Amino acid sequence: MKIPPVAVRTALSLLLLLFFLPAIAQEVLLNADLRKGEWSARWITCPDVPGRTYGVYHFRKQFDLASLPASFVVHVTADNRYRLFVNGTAVGRGPARGDLYNWNFESYDLRPYLRQGNNVIAAVVWNMAEHAPVAQVSNQTGFLLQGDDAVSAKVNSDASWKVLHNKAYTPCGTNMGSVLRSYVVVGPGDDVDAAQYPWGWEKPGFAEKGWAAAAIIGTPVAFLGYGTDNLWTLTPRSIPMMEERVERMASVRRTTGAKETGSAFLQGKATRIPANQKVSILIDQGFETTAYPVLKTSGGKGARIRLTYAEALFDKSRQKGNRNDIEGKEIIGLFDVFQPDGGNSREFSPLWFRTYRYLQLDIETGASPLVLEDLHGLYTGYPFRQQATFTSSDPSLQPIWDTGWRTARLCAGETYYDCPYYEQLQYEGDTRIQALISLYNAGDDRLMRKAINDFYNSRVPEGLTQGRYPSSRLQVIPPFSLFWVSMLYDYWMHRPDEAFVRSYLDGAAGVLDWYAGHVDNDKNMLGPMKWWNFVDWNKAFPNGVPDGATDGNSSVITLQYAYTLRQAAALFAGYGRKEESRRFAQLADQLTAGTYAHCFDQTRMMMANTPGKKTFSQHAGIMAILTGTIPEKERETVLQSVLNDPSLTQATFYYRFYLGRALIMSGHGNDYYEQLAPWRGMLENGLTTFAENPDPTRSDCHAWSASPNYDFLATLCGIMPAKPGFKEVRIEPFPGPLTALRGTMPHPAGKLTVDLKRKGAKGIAAIVELPAGVSGTFVWNGKSVKLVPGRQELRL
């Protein structure tokens, strides 16, 4: 089962793209009149219900077709969200998350689902109100459907639509932050009373008794530059629909409270739970996933079924331990509740997807037995397709590669997610790494483009981006604004799309200028800074903030600023903005010189966190190497301290991405292989995705820890862009002890392949295949060989 992709018929002209959507280019089903921003449909809602309170609503429109048209295109959106049906068939979910200034709509050709005679279009719309995920921006409950032409406009949303307030739903699990003792902001669970549910509401022939005429709340406004009283400013969805496919669960690991129930229901075979029983069934998916669980039951009037979801089980000390072990452990986590009404083939699935490896059914039956007919997942996520491959002489690297890709996939939906279980928020620090993984593994840049645009739209008056976005709560993390600038640089280097990047350069300059206004000119370092100056989660940085970040003169953040300035200098020079480029480069030199003069400890040969030289971290050393702050004659000593001195505050999985960059910068890329021990440790501990932090960790799935899926290609195979747009490549492999490795990856011009075999202690044989029109350089032990398009064999 997959949601059909959005059909594409008409492309917006380049002129319209530049005027209306300067940051997002896409093809969209939209006729010329609708491009003017004038839509004849109306935003509708449920009458006599406050627009900003919790509620679930069903909308229906019945209509007749004397004959089937060639196409039947509609544009759909809602606040908070919707699921669309045509004649009982699920067609799509949306809208893709954005903000009120950029409210996404989806376009569908409904022709495949229509029939001659009577038809019904139906949508369930919900508003989680104060319980909504923090990633969900909202105005008020609303639904909109606009036909693309005169034929489909007959179903435009207006007062002719019928609506029902579904009172079967109650939010549950609204205190999960307290229960899990963590930051949990993904929204509530669904408690559904089947006796109040309007079964069959989405199908033709359903009796609309008790349904009201929809209330009109406003005129839609499409595209920036239109409207004077906008509730939502509409913009076409720029990413594909999410993937959905059936995903079966692996096994029942434990049953308590009754005789063994077996696991037949996991394969769609009926399992009977007797009356007046309390049964607990622990199910192991076998690996972590993101899915809509689908539970099908019959009978069981008066029963109550609680579905609890968890990444891992907890022991009595609230520790996870090996994720495969269940003995002496319990499940604690987000949950839904379904209360059967005794009917046959009742199907429950939550409004939003759930994240789980373990799922526990806690069932309490009443006077009637309950039949579990089926339980499975409907996997969902951004439809990335892995185009890259990696193999090597060390087979233990394959599980790291596979687990990293699963981690990256579970952390990508309508936005990138930091983690799919606890937050589902898009943060620049995470997203920069995620986007590079996407480019190297899938070659799909659409979600990266959306992320860049999302953060651009998040800017606060001071010029900084918000630290995460979309978000209903304001959070500013100034170092993450720098990573947003780095994302622009990355996109510029990896994609031949100059127009896209150009539209964000002024925003990037605003971020860099904010920092310039915080330079302490006495020390040529950053002075005191407000907001949340997060760098990395570790015990020595309170709340992730290093020494000097708040009260002034942090070497770590000063050098991150210098690192970004150097990228910006190259970026702005590439667009002919030479004066800004010169200023950025000059300021970077000024900051690195000031930081070296005040923070480098000549006795310990280490970069301190502040001029006081009381604390030291890997982070300071990493950034000092990356920015060229450390003179070449001292770099080796500093690097060895970074790698081997346990007294330094250690970088977690996240910041080890930058350790990898520092190894290459210092000529020690071959040491990267030895830095994979933490990832091996996670696999040995039973994780099926990579965690946020070393144990004890909150999240078992955190995309910033999937960086090996970038580094296996960029570092071990050594594939990097040599010129903007990836127009030339530089291949400088750092295989470490590997005797053979082969990597393929998508390139904007085609497929790129590197096949390497070591020859003796220092030699290498390489087969390199470059796409048509792409040239480059192969580097090995200081020697360079020119590469040309096509296949070539090298021996060095």
Q: Where are the domains of the chain?
A: 14-166+196-241, 244-381, 719-796
Cα–Cα distance for residue pair 791/755, rounded to 1 Å: 11
Cis bond before residue 204 (omega within 30° of 0): no
Q: Residue 192: is its pLDDT beyond 50? A: yes
Superfamily the domain 14-166+196-241 falls into: Galactose-binding domain-like (2.60.120.260)
How crowded is residue 183: how many other Cβ atoms within 10 Å of its Cβ?
11
Q: 261 versus 371: which is more confidently predicted?
A: 371
pLDDT value at residue 376: 98
Q: What is the pLDDT of residues 375-387, one digit of tens each?
A: 999 999 999 999 9
Domain 244-381 belongs in CATH node 1.10.3720.10:
no
pLDDT value at residue 9: 33
According to DSSP, residue 672 is labeled G
Q: Residue 4: is its pLDDT beyond 90? A: no
Q: What is the pLDDT of residues 690-717, one digit of tens each?
A: 999 999 999 999 999 999 999 999 999 9
Q: Residue 529: is its pLDDT beyond 70? A: yes
Q: What is the pLDDT of residues 89-137, one digit of tens each?
A: 999 999 999 999 999 999 999 999 999 999 999 999 999 999 999 999 9
> What is the mean pLDDT of the segment spanning 472-501?
98
Distance in Å from the first CA to the final CA of the chain:
51
- pLDDT band of 28, cuts 50, 70, 90: low
For 791, the token pair is: 């296949």
pLDDT value at residue 773: 96
> What is the mean pLDDT of the segment spanning 345-357?
98
pLDDT > 70: percent of the chain: 96
Cα–Cα distance for residue pair 131/113, rounded to 1 Å: 34
- pLDDT band of 19, cuts 50, 70, 90: very low
Q: Residue 24: is its pLDDT beyond 80? A: no
Task: Say if residues 85 and 91 touch (Cβ distance below 8 Å).
Answer: yes
pLDDT value at residue 270: 94
Q: Residue 13: is its pLDDT beyond 50? A: no
Q: Exposed, middle or buried, 646 (CB in 10 Å: 0-12/13-18/19+)?
A: exposed
Q: Residue 184: is its pLDDT beyond 70? A: yes
For 96-155, give the DSSP string: PP-BTTBEEEEEEE-GGG--SEEEEEEEEEEE-GGGS-TT---SS-EEEEEESSTTGGGG
Q: Scanning the structure block, which residue is given the tokens 């071990």?
A: 716
Q: Residue 225: is its pLDDT beyond 90? A: no
Q: Residue 512: is its pLDDT beyond 90? A: yes
Average per-residue pLDDT for the chain: 94
Task: Say if residues 333 and 186 touch (Cβ distance below 8 Å).
Answer: no
Task: Say if residues 202 and 148 touch (Cβ distance below 8 Å).
Answer: no
Q: At what angle do helices 618-626 and 656-665 cross, to 10 degrees?
A: 40
Partners of 77 in beta bridges: 144
- pLDDT band of 227, cuts 50, 70, 90: confident
pLDDT value at residue 8: 33
For 782, the token pair is: 């200081």
pLDDT value at residue 23: 33
Report pTM: 0.95
> Domain 719-796 falls in which CATH fold?
Maltose phosphorylase, domain 3 (2.60.420)
Q: What angle do CA 526, 532, 534 make, to 5 degrees?
A: 80
Cα–Cα distance for residue pair 160/40, rounded to 1 Å: 14
Q: What is the pLDDT of residues 391-443, one digit of tens each?
A: 999 999 999 999 999 999 999 999 999 999 999 999 999 999 999 999 999 99
Q: What is the pLDDT of residues 558-583, one digit of tens each?
A: 999 999 999 999 999 999 999 999 99
Say yes or no: do domains 14-166+196-241 and 719-796 share a fold. Answer: no
